[in-house]
Amino acid sequence: MASGTKAANTKVADIKVKRNRWKLFRSNLDMYLLLVPGLAFLLLFKYTPMYGIIIAFQEFNIFTGLSGSEWVGLEQFNKLLHSEEFLQVLINTLLISLYKIVILFPLPIFIALILNEVRRMFFKRAIQTVIYLPHFLSWVIISGLFLNILSPSGGIVNEIIRSFGGAPISFMTDSDMFRSVVVFTAGWKESGWSAIVFIAAIAGIEQEQYEAAAIDGAGRIRQMFSISLPGMLPIIVLMFILRIGNLLEAGTEQILTMYNPLVYATGDVIGTFVYRMGLGQQDYSFSTAVGLFNSLVGFLLIILGNTLSRKFLQRSIW
Amino acid sequence: MKNNQKRKRLQPLLLVLTALLLVLSACSSGGSDGEGNNAPANGNGNGNTAAEGTNANADADKPELKRLSVWQGEDYNTYPVAALLEEKTGYPVKYDMLPQDKWQEKLNLLLGSGEPYDAVTIYADKALYSDFAQKGALVDLMPLIEEYGPNIQAALTPEMMEAVKVNDKLYAIPDAVTYKVNSSILIRTDWLEQVGLEKPTTLEELTAALQAFKEQDPGGNGNKNVPLTIHGNQPMLENIVGAFGMPNAWNEVDGELLPRILDPSYADYVTYVSDLYEQGLLDSEFVANKDATAKEKFSSGQAGAIIVHWADIPALAETLAQTHPDAAFEFIGALTGPSGEAGFSANSGFDRLTFIPKSSNHPEEAIKWINATLEEETFKSLAIGEEGTHYKVEDGAYVPIQPIFTDERNLANNYMSGVTEHYPQYWQARVRKNPVMYEAFSFLNNEQPEEIQITNVLGLSPFMPTYSKNNQQLETMVGDYTIKLIAGAESLDGLEEFRAKYNAAGGEASVNEVNEWYANR
Amino acid sequence: MRSKSAGDYVLDTSIYLMLTLMGVITLLPFANVLSKAVSEEWAIVSGKVGIFPVGFQLDTMKFVVTSSQFLQALWISVLVAVIGTLLSLLLTALTAYPLSKRQLPGIGVIIVLFIFTMMFNGGIIPNYLLIRELGLIDSLGALIYPALISVFNLLVIKSYFETLPESLEESAKLEGAGNLTILFRIILPLSGPVLATIGLFYAVYFWNDYFNPLLYINSTDLRPLPLYLQDIVMNANASSALDRTADQLMNVPAEGVRSATVIASTVPILLVYPYLQKYFIKGVLIGSVKG
């Protein structure tokens, strides 16, 4: 009985909502018109080619096209998931990715926070410009440089270790050190660049808030935590959710230029494994299957991230 | 009133949309305009006056051909050889080039989408070429060559033809390799002098020399001293592998061809090299070395020996001359191993392949054109230019006249589709551009006895599907494993296990296929 | 103005120290490449060049920046980056605004549709066929149109729009302004920092884009810088010399030339950021707009 009334009530509410939604739609037609070019772009350049995903279920022959290629079902996925090294490669991927998220995700936020405290404009601009420089150099150049810096014979890092009486470390060939090297160099190259979006977020915070807080006697550290950080929260949440969507991409290009057979045990990730085995070369079906596997996991993680964030932080992308 | 307001509200939006569309269409027509205008501009504007002159004379019924070639540092259409070929053959040709990186990918897309190229020249990637041929993307050249290509026929030996045939049909015109031996150990002879040793001729002497380099440190490098350096992608050390009877990736063992990993000498080779590593005679950081790192160590005087291609020598020589003006170095000849074996891998087979895709609009004209480029006189001016201008003859050898030879003929090999039998002699003019390089080249290729130049028989093997499919992956597997063995990260106890894995991953099938051909050759 | 407390001094000092340190270590790689670009070749090959040049000379730099291929590629890159950035910024901002109004029906679904394409794509071949179908192969349009909206950038702008106080729009609506007027008169003028950021992101994307030109550009004179650069750098960085012929090895460009090319093709885009920084540093004074 009670539930019946409730159902009836929700039904009424539903109709009301529907009517409201229609009204909302009608009164905001210009908003929807604004969407037209963007949606046209999306449809033409993103969804039209989407049929290519079925290549993952075929043995694709580029000369006969989709219709002339043989269907192989999930064979391409089996080839990936059932290779002997796959488990280790997956673990490496997840570990390196997680380290990168845990250590490197907060770093740019921290940089943005402390840069915001700098009052000398020249210094601020100079630092901002300098720390994003490494982003523009390719991994080939950066790894070549690190090879020298970290070399056990004559590299500056090991010279320092030696001068403190320590034994030199073979950073590049020691499988226990390799992940650390990967995470550190990635942070070095990208933190300054990643900070830009947070710097912009802080710049978007109303100045009045700081003034009001200062009048209330809040110190600068308190202002950082009570104004700057909350002001950045929406962008932090957005960045974080998007970041975990890339969990299975642990830095293929980077690792390819840095690793060697002695560190495969800890450094081989999905991208490098596929490349190294020559599996993806000219094999469109296989590379599409690997891509699809990554995409599926990534998309699910984004949905999960969004749901959790909506529940616990009352913030979400959609 | 209300409508009016709405219209007013929409106005900015419409404006923006129209603006956007205008810009888009302007940009797109700009783009295609550019394309349309660029092609002729390439022929006339960029081409020098000689090209224009011949354009006017060109046979009216000779169509413009489209050729796709490998990457080069200068624009194909404006490099002097293009004009020369147009003048000599009468065919106008529009050249495109593949990128340096990921060229296979790009080629797949271009051919897969039916881009109408009349001739495509690529590096001799037999697997890729066979794949195209098998998928039916290429024109069968034999009938065309028989009808229009006497020069092509003369340039191809029956052996070469067999090696490029796929399913009994000829789909490509190969450029044969021009020299045999690539690399050896380059050693500091001034260091040898200081430690009182001769240039090594056996493995034992090599070990002794490296030990002396380590102990006596003739370069005065202290703890940075490296007796022999290599880079991390060199599991099979040229010359040293030869001393174990495995100069090539596949070698004959009791009448059968075997890959190195299955060769009975493999364990001995690994034991020898890992011993060098353990004693500190081989660069302790070699695994992480890039090509440039190894060269850096040698050219800065930190390393006493390095394994390099002779073409790498000019850069090393120039640098050493600056850092250590007294330094002297030489290649080591074939070292004799414990069981008396010695040898260098000798290249055989091809450098480039030229084919005609099915999407070509003028396959017959393309063959006629290729045939015209192989006319001996034309080919000679293509390869080395004119006597007295680009080269002179000294003691029967072609010597380049610089700088014009480099400016106008350095990239000439990229314009070839097939080569005549005289090409290896013409080609040596390029090596003579640098006397130090020529000396090293000549030491390996002309002065070493023929019997230690051991031909890579697989270079001229026909298309073998299993071998082609698995080769790269298996080579990577073995290379990585060998590096681990040398660096002590794996032990030879696991060799049988690894061999089983290798065989299961396609090794055994490849061995069977290769030997079926080898036995019936 | 409050006088600085002792705590403030400690805070300031540690911040300046940390940032200086960061600045120094991130400057290293660039200093290294720059030094190589202006050093003697022998010094580079023998590994003597660290962060200061050895045997200073400008001939290599001059040789690189006067090469006609470089200048042509530079021109193409500038063209693509300028047109691409302006179009993308406009289209992305226009699309982001309605997406920031999540209370409107259907918007949530549309956002998910956009996000879906961040993770899933059709792959190289269908994209290539589409570009071919549109007649864009070997034209600059192929480098611009497929990249007009980056979903990442779209979400950043959308997220920024969402943080702007509702009250601004409501008061404008009461005065009878339509959504478009609000976007152009109120929202965009307040969005300096985010538009500057996204503009920078687009500019850098178009400047660095390597894969699209690799696939879609065939003519030598339509190649943008990354393709030109990659061809030069790749030439020497192939992982092993094994699969390269003597003819290739004999033509490898000197390392100094490679470094100089890296510098010459990176510096133009680096100049954009300092110029945009004024939008970051000022911060936003919403109150002044409101009033």
Chain B residue with the nearest C-alpha to that of A68: B135
Residue A6 has pLDDT above 80, yes or no: no
What's the confidence (pLDDT) of residue B42?
36
Handedness of CA B389, B96, C202, C262 (dihedral sign): negative
How far is residue B91's CA from residue B83's CA, in Å, rounded to a whole number? 10
Question: For B427, phi and psi rounded to 5 degrees?
Answer: -60, -35
**CATH superfamily ID and name for B50-178+350-420:** Periplasmic binding protein-like II (3.40.190.10)
How much of chain C, in percent, has pLDDT values that exceed 70?
Answer: 91
Domain boundaries, chain C: 6-57, 61-290
Contact between residue A274 and residue A240 where contact means Cβ atoms under 8 Å apart: no
Minimum mean pLDDT range among A156-165, B223-232, B386-395, B433-442: A156-165
Q: What is the residue-averaged pLDDT of chain A?
A: 88
* pLDDT of amino acid B291: 86
Whether C46 and B300 lie within 8 Å, measured CB to CB: yes
- Per-residue pLDDT tens over the stretch B268-321: 999 999 999 999 999 999 998 988 889 999 999 999 999 999 999 998 999 999
Beta carbons of C23 and A130 less than 8 Å apart: yes
Neighbours of B3 (CB within 10 A): 7
Question: For B436-467, how does the pLDDT look when each residue is reduced to its tens digit (9 = 90+)?
Answer: 999 999 999 999 999 999 999 998 898 898 99
In angstroms, how far is the first alpha carbon of chain B from the final one? 93
In angstroms, the separation between the Cα of residue A208 and the nearest Cα of chain C is: 7
Rounded Cα distance between B180 and B178, Å, is: 7
B283 close to B230: Cβ distance less than 8 angstroms: yes
CA distance A103 to A81: 29
Contact list, A125 vs chain C (CB under 8 Å): 274, 277, 281
Task: Please tell me the total number of residues recorded for chain C in this structure.
Answer: 291
Amino acid identity at C217: I
Residues B50 and B86: their CA atoms lie apart, in Å, by 10
List chain A residues with CB under 8 Å of C2.
Answer: 214
**What's the rounded Cα separation, in Å, for the pair B63 and B365?**
8
Go through chain A and tell me how many residues it has: 318
Tokens linked to C175: 């005065």
Angle of CA points C202, C206, C208, to nearest 5°: 115
Work out the percent of chain A whose per-residue pLDDT is above 90: 46
Spell out which residues of chain B touch residue C247, defining contact as CB-CB under 8 Å. 351, 413, 430
Across the range C195-216, mean pLDDT stands at 93
CA dihedral sign of residues A293, A296, A297, A298: positive
Q: What is the mean pLDDT of residues A309-315?
A: 91
Chain C residues inside the 8 Å CB shell of A220? 8, 11
Q: Tens of pLDDT along B85-98?
A: 999 999 999 999 99
A261 with B483: Cβ contact below 8 A:
yes
Contacts of C165 (CB under 8 A, 6+ apart): C286
Burial (CB count within 10 angstroms: exposed 0-12, middle 13-18, buried 19+), residue B499: middle
Residues 229-268 of C with CB under 8 A from B: 230-232, 234-236, 239-243, 245-247, 249-255
Domain ranges of chain A: 1-73, 78-313
Measured CA to CA, the distance from residue B137 to residue B116 in angstroms comes to: 12
A147 touches chain B (CB under 8 A): yes
Computed on alpha carbons and rounded to an integer, the radius of gyration of chain B in Å comes to 28
Residue partners of B187: CB distance under 8 A and separation at least 6: B199, B200, B209, B304, B305, B329, B330, B331, B332
Option in A126, A204, A220 nearest C8 (CB): A220
Structure tokens at B479: 């290379």
CATH superfamily of B183-346+456-460: Periplasmic binding protein-like II (3.40.190.10)
Which has more confidence, B298 or B14?
B298
Q: What is the mean pLDDT of residues B27-31?
A: 42
Q: Using DSSP bridges, classify how beta strands A70-71 and B65-69 pair: parallel, antiparallel or unpaired.
A: unpaired
For residues C142 and B314, give the distance between their C-alpha atoms in angstroms, rounded to a whole number: 42
pLDDT band at B1 (very low <50, low <70, confident <90, very high): very low
Residue A170 to residue B285, Cβ atoms within 8 A: yes
Does residue A90 contact residue C247 with C-beta atoms inside 8 Å? no
Produce one character per residue of C120-158: b if its CB has 16 or more CB atoms within 10 Å, e if not. Answer: bbbbbbbbbbbbbebebbbbbbbbbbbbbbbbbbbbbbb
Name residue C260's beta-bridge partners: none
Name the phi and psi angles at B238, rounded to 5.
Answer: -50, 145
Q: Tell me how crowded residue B66 is: count the other CB atoms within 10 A of its CB.
A: 19
User: How far apart (Å, rounded) are the C-alpha atoms in residues B30 and A73?
Assistant: 44
Determine if the peptide bond prior to B403 is cis (ω within 30°): yes
pLDDT at B240: 97
Residue pair B78/B46 in contact (Cβ under 8 Å)? The answer is yes
> Predicted confidence band at A247 (pLDDT cuts at 50, 70, 90)?
very high
Using CB atoms, which residue from B72, B113, B322 is nearest to C42? B322
- Judge whether residue C177 has pLDDT over 90: no
Displacement of CA A208 from its chain's centroid (Å): 33
Report the pLDDT value the prediction gives residue C244, as an integer from 0 to 100.
60
DSSP letters spanning B115-176: ---SEEEEE--HHHHHHHHHTT-B---HHHHHHH-HHHHHH--HHHHHHHEETTEE-EEEEE
- CATH top class, domain A78-313: mainly alpha
- At residue B11, does pLDDT exceed 50? no
Tally of CB atoms within 10 A around A17: 13
Q: Per-residue pLDDT for A219 more than 90?
A: no
pLDDT at position B51, please? 39
A196 near A166, Cβ under 8 Å?
Answer: no
User: From start to end of B195-341, where are the E strands?
Assistant: 226-229, 250-253, 256-259, 303-309, 329-331
Q: How far is A10 from chain C (nearest CA, A)?
A: 19
From chain B, the residues in CB contact with C87 under 8 A are 20, 23-24, 27
Name B344's bridge partners.
B453
* C91 vs C99: CA distance, rounded Å: 13
What confidence tens digit (pLDDT) does each residue in A60-84 have? 888 888 888 889 989 888 888 888 8
Judged by CB atoms closer than 8 Å, whether chains meet at B288 and A173 is answered as: yes
For residue range A18-39, list pLDDT tens digits in order: 778 888 888 888 889 999 999 9
Please give the Cα distance from C245 to B309 (Å, whole number). Answer: 10
Q: Is C249 on the interface with A (CB under 8 A)?
A: no
Q: Identify the residue among B287, B300, B474, B480 best suited for mutation to test binding to A, counting A beta carbons within 10 A and taking the highest.
A: B287
Of C119, C124, C201, the CB nearest to A298: C119
Banded pLDDT at B27 (limits 50, 70, 90): very low
Rounded to whole angstroms, how far apart are CA atoms C20 and A317? Answer: 36
What is the bridge-based pairing of β-strands A58-59 and A70-71?
A: antiparallel
Residue C283 has a pLDDT of 53
Residue of A162, B321, A212 lying closest to C45 (CA atoms): B321
**C6, two tokens:** 């002792």
Asked if C159 lies within 8 A of A238 by C-beta distance, the reply is yes
Pair B187, B157: CB distance under 8 Å: no
- pLDDT value at position C3? 54
**Could you tell me the two tokens for C173?**
């609506």
Residue B68, classed as helix, strand or coil, is: strand
Cβ of residue C52 closer than 8 Å to a chain A Cβ: no
Q: Which chain A residues are within 8 Å of C200, Cβ to Cβ?
A: 196
Q: How many residues are recorded in chain B?
A: 521
The alpha carbon of residue C5 is apart from the nearest alpha carbon of chain A, in Å, by: 10
Question: Which band of pLDDT confidence, cut at 50, 70 and 90, is reported for residue A9?
Answer: low
Element containing residue B453 per DSSP (H, E): strand B453-455
Q: Is C266 on the interface with A (CB under 8 A)?
A: yes
The pLDDT, as a whole number, for residue C236 is 55
Cβ–Cβ under 8 Å, residues B148 and B368: yes
What distance in Å separates residue A2's CA from the closest CA in chain C? 31
Q: Which residue has the higher pLDDT, B87 or B6?
A: B87
- State which residue of chain B sits closest to A279, comparing Cα positions: B473
Quick one: average pLDDT of A281-299?
Answer: 87
The secondary structure element, H or E, covering residue B205 is helix B203-216
The reply to whether residue C45 touches residue B351, judged by beta carbons under 8 angstroms, is no
What CATH number matches the domain at C61-290, 1.10.3210.10, 1.10.3720.10, 2.30.42.10, 1.10.580.10? 1.10.3720.10
Give the SS3 label for residue B489: coil
CA A296, A299, A305, A311 dihedral sign is: negative
Sign of CA dihedral B212, B213, B217, B220: positive
What local confidence, expressed as pLDDT, does residue B32 receive? 38
Residue C170 has pLDDT above 70, yes or no: yes
List CB contacts (< 8 A) between C43 and chain B: 322
Predicted confidence (pLDDT) per residue in B414-432, tens digit: 999 999 999 999 999 999 9
Tokens describing residue C30: 């660039």
Please give the structure tokens belonging to residue B515. 């030997």
Q: Number of residue pairs across A and B with CB atoms under 8 Å? A: 80
Contacts of C101 in chain A (CB under 8 A): 28, 31
Average pLDDT over chain C reads 87
* pTM for the whole structure: 0.87
Instruction: Answer whether A55 sits within 8 Å of C125, measured CB to CB.
Output: yes
- Please indicate whether, in this complex, the C-beta atoms of B34 and C139 are within 8 angstroms of each other: yes
What is the token pair recorded at A120?
């000398």
pLDDT exceeds cutoff 60 at B179: yes
Name the E strands within B201-261.
Answer: 226-229, 250-253, 256-259
Q: Chain B contacts of C253, Cβ < 8 Å?
A: 73
Across chain B, mean pLDDT equals 87
CB-nearest to C155 from A192, A221, A317 is: A317
Judged by CB atoms closer than 8 Å, whether chains meet at A203 and C279 is answered as yes
Whether B473 and A277 lie within 8 Å, measured CB to CB: yes
- Please give the Cα distance from B262 to A185 (Å, whole number): 40
Q: At residue B34, does pLDDT exceed 70?
A: no
For residues C160 and A18, the model is more confident at C160
Minimal Cα–Cα distance from C219 to chain A, Å? 23
Sign of CA dihedral C194, C200, C206, C211: negative
Residue of C nearest to A63 (CA): C125
Q: Is B482 on the interface with C (CB under 8 A)?
A: no
Nearest residue to B132 (alpha-carbon basis) of B355, B362, B351: B355
Instruction: Please state, in angstroms and rounded to a whole number, the distance separating the CA atoms of residues A301 and A241.
Output: 8
Candidates A147, A264, A282; nearest CB to B288: A147
How many CB atoms within 10 Å of residue A125?
18
Please name the residues in contact with B289: beta carbons below 8 A apart, sequence gap of 6 or more: A147, B229, B230, B231, B232, B283, B297
